[in-house]
Amino acid sequence: MKHNLNGQLPMQVLAVANNKGGVGKTTTAVSLGGALHQLHGARVLMVDLDPQANLTQNLIGRSTEVEQHVGHAIIDKSLDGIILETESGLHLVPSAIGLAQYESLIPQQKMWRYRLAQTLATVASDYDYVVLDCPPTLQTFTVMALVAADAYLIATEPELFALSGLSTLTELADGVVEGLNSKLRFAGVTVTRYNPKQKNSTHSIVMQALAMQYGEEALLPSIRRDSAIVKSQGQAQTIFQYDPQSNAAQDYAALTTSLITSFTAR
């Protein structure tokens, strides 16, 4: 039987965020979820908070129609009839393009910033981990994600120009800690899609810059560029289903282990 490393901890909610687009947030979310469930036997709920619905496509393919999405769940504060059980074993609160209109609809609700947290609280005994895939903005969904989360993880590219916008995310998170969710902590930063063979790689420069900005302890294992990622996504599989020996699978396994350690150390 698989061992659940989360043991007796209450459900832990992790948000994967970055206001910059295309930096590997969704890939990181689905791969962490895959490792938590497929390697560690945890019960994992994935939540797609992006109207682009990439996480949903990564888990159920492109052709499946989604009728009830996370926007409906947040408005009703209920996940009844919304959670999909995917082939990976991961449970999913899906997104769909229709979620875009909820970006402005949800802030018209009372206490809207707490609504995702309240919605997730209804399934707190059913899951060990919830992984929130944020859109590349700092608007409605990212705000609700930070208010609902125990920890947030930044995924970024190995490019210096990609680091300049990170301070706005950190400022938002600091504001959330002060006013809305004092339990939120920074889980750290992972650099994705780096090429270890590239000469004069910017990876080490980026790592130094991140260490200056966040401290050494915030540097989590990096993820190598790996075509197996793109192929696995084309087949709606996690990297651990598609190729558990691949570089990306090994890197995501290491990242997951360090995150589990930081959750259980608390």
Ligand X SMILES: Nc1ncnc2c1ncn2[C@@H]1O[C@H](COP(=O)(O)OP(=O)(O)OP(=O)(O)O)[C@@H](O)[C@H]1O
Contact 151, 190 (CB under 8 A): no
Q: Does 230 bind ligand X (CB under 6 A)?
A: yes
Structure tokens at 32: 């962490």
First to last CA, the chain: 26
Compare residues 24 and 128 and give the one whose CB is closer to ligand X. Answer: 24
For 130, phi then psi, to 5°, come to -120, 130
Q: Which of residues 13-32 bind Mg ion (CB under 5 A)?
A: 25-26
Q: What is the DSSP letter of 219?
A: B
124 vs 230, which CB is nearer to ligand X?
230
* Smallest gap from residue 21 Cβ to Mg ion (A): 8
Taking CB positions, which residue lies at the least distance from Mg ion? 26
Residue 233 binding: pick among Mg ion, ligand X, none (C-beta 5-8 Å cut-off by kind):
ligand X
> Using an 8 Å Cβ cutoff, are 159 and 63 in contact?
no
Closest distance to Mg ion from the beta carbon of 162 (Å): 15
Of 134 and 253, CB closest to Mg ion: 134
Say if CB 36 and CB 253 are below 8 A apart. no
Q: 97 and 124 in contact (C-beta within 8 Å)?
A: no
Measured CA distances, 156 to 1, 22, 236 (Å) = 35, 9, 23
Specify the residue, 6 or 142, whose C-beta has the smaller distance to ligand X: 142
Query: Which positions from 50 through 89 interact with ligand X, judged by CB under 6 A?
Result: 50, 52, 54
Does 193 interact with ligand X (rule: CB under 6 A)?
yes
- Which option in ligand X, Mg ion, none does residue 226 bind, with CB closer than 5 to 8 A by kind? ligand X
Size of the site for ligand X (CB under 6 A): 20
Of 11-30, which residues contact ligand X (CB under 6 A)? 21-27
Q: Going edge to edge, which strands form the sheet with 12-17?
A: 84-85, 91-93, 44-48, 129-133, 12-17, 151-156, 185-191
Give the binding site for ligand X (CB under 6 A): 21-27, 50, 52, 54, 136, 192-193, 223, 225-226, 229-230, 233, 248
Q: Which residues bind Mg ion (CB under 5 A)?
A: 25-26, 54
